[in-house]
Structure formats: C-alpha cells, structure tokens
Structure 1
Amino acid sequence: MRLSLAHHSVRRFDQPQNRLIQLLRLMPGDTDHQSVVAWHLDVSCDARLRHGIDGFGNQVTMLYATGPVDAVELTVTGDVLTTPFSGAVTGSAEPLPPIFYLRTTEATRCTARLGELARDLAGEGDPLDRAHRLNGAIHAGFTFAAVDGRAHARPASETVEGMSGSTREAAQLFIAAAICLGLPARFVSGYRAIGDGGATLYPHAWAEAHVAGIGWIGFDPEAGESPAETHVRGAIGLDAHGAAFIAEARSGDHGTASDVELTEGDVDGQG
C-alpha cells in the first residue's frame, strides 16, 4: 500500500525569539514492512538543518534559526510503501538491547495500582497472549478523547484513574502495565490511515513490547489490535515526550507559543 502524507504544523510566538532550536523526529525509518520512497521538509524561516540518527535509531533533524523569529511553519510531504504484517517489527534500527526498555520514566512508572491492573487485565499464560489481552482490555475500557488538546501527555499513574485520554496516554498506559509484567516496552509516534478508499493519514501513537523468542510486537490500544499496513511507524522512545515529533528550545523573550497542526494525506491502495 502506498501512503501519501502532507503534514503542516505552525508554531507562533507572542514575542519574537532571538534563537530557536528544534529537534525534529518527522521522518520514518525503513523496516521490512515499510519503505520511505520520498520525503521532503519545508521550513518557513531561514534555518540550518542537520540530519542524523539519535541513540534510539530514529531519523532526526536539528533545526537552528536565528531571530527575530515570530513563527515557524513546517510542511512535511512524503510517500511510504507498506506491506501487510502481523504486528512483528523486523528490519528496524535497534542500537539498544531490549532490556533497556524496562527502564521507566515518570510517565511510565510501574505503580502498585498499575501492577495490580496489569495482572488483572493480562491474566495468565505466555507473554504474547498476556500482551494481546492487555491491549484488548485497554481498548475496551479506555475512553479516547476526540481531540487531544493537552500539550503534554499525562503519566500513566494519572491516566489509569479515569481510564480516558488521548492515544498517547493510552500508549503510555500500555507501556507502564507491560513493564509491570516484566515486558520491555516503548512508545511509537507515527501516522495511521483512517477511512475507506481514499483515506487520510493522521498523527497517531501506539506501543511496542518485546517478547522473548519473537522480538518486538506492536500494540495499538485505540485500534485494539496490532498495527497494520495502514500504520506508518515513526520515532520510538521511552514515552510520549521522548518520541515527540518536535522538541524545542528557545532563547530571548520566551513568552507563550501556540500550535496549529493540520495533516492531510491519502491512501492509494497499490501493491
């Protein structure tokens, strides 16, 4: 399947910034089930771009702009070829061993409450079955917000109390619960095609857990199943913050900033 993406984001500042630095995790990497055939980034202001690979194996771009900067607009266009798969991630860049992903952050900390919930939802059995049951239970019991208006995803220890929130928060909940079960787990930011026929790609988030003897498996709590060929896998990290599309540092009169994000795309079912 050929997935075409047009992702436009605008960040405006109420006071001009002397210097702006952004870490962009906007370009997907190749795996055995997805290949980036075209990708282009346009920036509205004069900026230097440096491309590289971070410690997680993500494709990253450092953006440096000198002021005064009132706003920065980023437009990403690209095409990715995907093939059907069962959720197992193969052929990805893996500079870190799976055991590293037992490490938690404040957003994915395994609390007593989360540990109890994880054991109740996952039940007994082999690790893969437990992970699938955990994902299905979160899907069934979680109320997904139609619009994610929060700048930052709440930690799993807060999300678990109301069992509602964004796809990012549901993914972090899965990660924390999986780690409570002893499964290495990590966050994935990417895109998902929604709709029939000519569909639109939207920013999306899910999780991956490592099962001994199999490898990394994707779990999408919103879909209630593993990612499919309609998913474009982007950056990975320990939590939503660590895998965010854009991380930013500013100098000068910081003031406040507002974001507008529009994503348009289509899915051309080929191959």
Structure 2
Amino acid sequence: MLLTVTHTTRYSFAEKVSHGLQRLRLKPKTTHGQEVLEWRMDLVGARPEASYDDQHHNHIDLVSIEPGVPEVVVTCHGTVRTIDNNGVTGMHTGHMPLWCFLRPTPLTRAGNRVRQLVASVDADRDDTLNFLHALSGAIGEQIEYVPGETDAATTAEQALVAGKGVCQDHAHVFISAGRLLDIPMRYVGGYLKMDGLVEQEAGHGWAEAYVPGLGWVGFDISNAICPDERYVRVATGCDYSEAAPVTGIAVGAGETELDVHLSVDEKLVGQQQSSGGGGQQQVQGG
C-alpha cells in the first residue's frame, strides 16, 4: 500500500518567545514492513539546528524557535510504501539492549490494578504470543476508548483504575503488564490510515512485544488487531515520552495553543485520485 501523509503542527504563543528549542520525532525510517519513498519537512518560525539518531534509533530533528515569532508551524509531507507482516517488525536493532525494555518507567510502573489484570488473564503464559493476544483483549475490555479523559502524563495504573482512555493508555497498560512477566515491551508512535477517513485528529500509538523466534510484534489494543499495511511506524521508546512527536521548551511564550492537522490517505498507482481502503474493519486513531 502506498500511503501519503500530511502532518501540520502549529504552536501559537500568547507572548513573544525569547528562546525555544524543539525536538521533533516526525520522520519515519525504512524498516521491516515499510519503505519511505519521500519525506519533506517545512518550518515556519523555526530553523534547523541539528539532526541525529537517538538511543532508540529514532530520527531526531532539533530546531530552534526564532525569537519574537507569534507561532511555529511544522509541516511534514511524505509517501511510504507498506506491506502487511502480521504485526512482525523483526529482530532487535539499535543501541538499546533488550533488557532496557524490561525496566518500569514513571508512565508504565505496575500497581495493584495492573497486577490484578495480569493474574486475571486466562491463557498459558508459556505460550507468549497467545498470552499477549489474550492480554490485549482483556485491556480492551477494561479500558473504554474515550478521548479527553486522560493526557500525556496519565500512567498505566491511573488509566486502568479510571477504566477510560485512548491508544496511549491502552499501550502503556499492555507494556506495564508484559514487563511484569519479563517480556521486553516498547511504545510505538506513528500514523494509521483509518478506513473511510482521511482527516484525523491525531497520530496513533500502539505497543510492541519481543517474542522469541519472531522478534518485535505489534499490538494495537485500541483496535484489537496487529498492525498491518495501514500503519506507518515513526518512533519507538520505553513509553510515550520517548516517542512523542514534539517535545521542547519555549521561554517567555506565555500560554501556548496547539493545533494539529493530519491526513493519511492511500495513493493509487497510476491514478490522480486517492481513495480509502475497502473491505476492512473500521479502526480509530489514538
């Protein structure tokens, strides 16, 4: 599948910025199941300072905010060819050893509710893949998908107690539970082409577990599927904070308003007009 992505992030500042830096994780890489054919980033109100790969092998663009500007606009355009690997992204690569993905983080540290969840899953723990599918289903049943009930600082334990959340919360609970059983787990941020929809409110998030013999395998708990050709992986981390698309500081900005515009569509080869994929279940963004 050829997927075209247009992602615009606009920050509007109430006051004049005296100094600001932003770390952008917005450029996907060619990897198992996807090939980046083209990708361009345009900046308004900011200028590039450096580009590098972080400890998770994510591509990072470091940009500085021009002093005094009323807003910063980051627009990405790209085309990615994807295939369906049944969620399998392959063996581990990068600078981080697998044991790092067993460590709890502030967002994924297990509490009593996560431990109770793991104990309630009726599946053979020696069959790792089957257990993870059962765990994914259990999380989907216990956390209703409700936007606006949580934010980027909500922990896995808090989301499970509330029983409401979005894709980030589903992924964090899944990661927290898996690490209790010594399964390496990581967060994935990226894009999802939703059936019948082009315009989206936000990017998407899911989780990957390291399964012996298969490597990293993706689980989209929010949609009860393993990622297929509709997904574009952009960044990974031990939790959302290490895979967030934009992080940074703006000194003197006052109140900041954020506006995101995202479209993900299928590009039909040899045709000028794009259309959504057909014949598959409706899925939701995170």
In the superposition, the TM-score normalised over structure 1's length comes to: 0.92
> 1:25·1:58 contact (CA, 8 Å) conserved in 2?
yes
Deviation at 1:4, TM superposition (A): 0.2
AA at the equivalent of 2:218: G
Q: Determine what percentage of the aligned residue pairs are the same residue.
A: 28
Number of residues paired by the alignment?
268
Unaligned 5+ residue runs, structure 1? none
Shift of 1:110: 1.6
Q: Would you identify which runs of 4 or more consecutive aligned residues in structure 1 move more than 3 Å? A: 147-151, 198-202
- Cross-structure match for 1:215: 215
Cα separation, partners in 2 of 1:229 and 1:116, compared to 1, 3 Å: same
Q: Does 1:131 align with 2:162?
A: no
1:9-28 Cα deviation digits (max 9, x unpaired): 11111111111100000011
Q: Give 2:30's aligned residue.
A: 30
Query: Structure 1 residues 259 and 89 mapped into 2: Cα distance closer, same or farther (>3 Å)?
Result: same
Distance 1:58 1:46, change over 3 A: closer
| Counterpart Cα distance in 1 of 2:241 and 2:138 | 24
Change (3 A) 1:199 1:85: farther
Q: Aligned AA for 1:216?
A: W
Q: Residue 17 of structure 1: SS of its match in structure 2?
A: coil
Q: Deviations over 1:64-106 (max 9, x none)?
A: 1230132101111100000111111127742212111001111
Q: Is the contact between residue 25 and residue 235 of structure 1 (CA under 8 Å) also seen in structure 2?
A: yes
Aligned CA distance change for structure 1 residues 180 and 269 (closer, same or farther; 3 Å):
farther
What SS does the aligned partner of 2:66 have? strand
Aligned residue type for 1:139? G
Show the counterpart of 1:58: 58
Matched, 1:42 2:45: no
Cα distance in 2 for partners of 1:52, 1:219 equals: 28
In structure 2, distance between residues paired with 1:221 and 1:44: 36
Report the counterpart of residue 240 of structure 1 in structure 2.
240
Q: For residue 263 of structure 1, what is the aligned residue in structure 2?
A: 262
SS in structure 1 of the partner of residue 65 of structure 2: strand
Q: CA separation in 2, counterparts of 1:103 and 1:122? A: 25
Shift of 1:223: 1.2
Residue equivalent to 2:282: none
Q: Deviations over 1:9-53 (max 9, x none)?
A: 111111111111000000111112101100011111141342210
C-alpha contact (below 8 Å) 1:144/1:165 kept by paired residues: yes
Between the aligned partners of 2:153 and 2:59, the Cα distance in structure 1 is 23
TM-score w.r.t. the length of structure 2 is 0.87
Please give the secondary structure, in 2, of the residue aligned with 1:176.
helix
More strand by share: 1
CA-CA distance at 1:250 after TM superposition:
2.1
In structure 2, the partner of 1:87 is 87
Matched residues in 1 for 2:150 and 2:69: separation? 24
The code of the aligned residue for 1:135 comes to: S
Q: Distance in 2 between matches of 1:95 and 1:71?
A: 35
Q: Distance in 1 between matches of 2:128 and 2:16?
A: 52
**Counterpart secondary structure, 1:27:** coil
Match of 2:3 in 1: 3
Deviation at 1:57, TM superposition (A): 0.4
Taking the aligned partners of 1:153 and 1:3, their CA distance within structure 2 comes to: 31
Match of 2:157 in 1: 157
What SS does the aligned partner of 2:106 have? coil
1:263 counterpart letter in structure 2: L
> What is the root-mean-square deviation in Å for CA atoms of aligned residues?
2.0
Amino acid at match of 1:134: L
Is the contact between residue 30 and residue 92 of structure 1 (CA under 8 Å) also seen in structure 2? no
